[in-house]
Amino acid sequence: MADITVRTLVDQLDLQVGAGADRLDEPVTGGYASDLLSCVMAGAQAGDVWVTLQAHMNVVAVAALLDLAAVVITEGAQPDASTLRRADERHIPVLMTEESTFGVVARLAALGVTGSR
């Protein structure tokens, strides 16, 4: 995989930065897509970008626990202000888009982001 940062994803996928702007230069080492937190906890790895339509506080907790590079929230889902504050406190980039999860994953793959497994 080419050198890809969170900022690359923001720029190439036209993502809105909701939180974690201080970590946009972090490298992305892989990707994972799921809406089930238990699957993410079992399958995602540190440095991954996680693609989900979930937009609640537990997403930030899982991303912080696994040291994920970023979370991309799809389909126009909007985290509330307290979730974004927590993400900023934990230095977790939360990125948002109107695009579908499938569309985001396809575009990540085209950029060279590969799955963790």
The tally of domains found in the chain comes to: 1
The range of the structural domain enclosing residue 22 comes to 6-111
Q: What is the CATH number of the domain that holds 101?
A: 3.40.1390.20
Determine, yes or no, domain membership for 93.
Answer: yes
Determine, yes or no, domain membership for 94.
Answer: yes
Determine, yes or no, domain membership for 55.
Answer: yes
Tell me what pLDDT residue 61 has: 97
> What would you measure as the largest C-alpha separation in the chain, in angstroms?
34
Tell me what pLDDT residue 2 has: 63
Q: What is the pLDDT along the chain (117 residues), one digit of tens a residue?
A: 568 999 999 999 999 999 999 999 999 999 999 999 999 999 999 999 999 999 999 999 999 999 999 999 999 999 999 999 999 999 999 999 999 999 999 999 999 999 866
Tell me what pLDDT residue 116 has: 67
Determine, yes or no, domain membership for 98.
Answer: yes
Contact status, residue 64 vs residue 46, Cβ threshold 8 Å: no
Determine, yes or no, domain membership for 1.
Answer: no
- Which tokens sit at 66? 């696994």
Tell me what pLDDT residue 1 has: 56
Is 6 buried (19+), middle (13-18) or exposed (0-12) by CB count in 10 A? buried
For the entire predicted model, the pTM comes to: 0.95
Determine, yes or no, domain membership for 116.
Answer: no
Determine, yes or no, domain membership for 95.
Answer: yes
- Report helix, strand and coil shares of the chain as percent, to nearest 5: 40, 20, 40
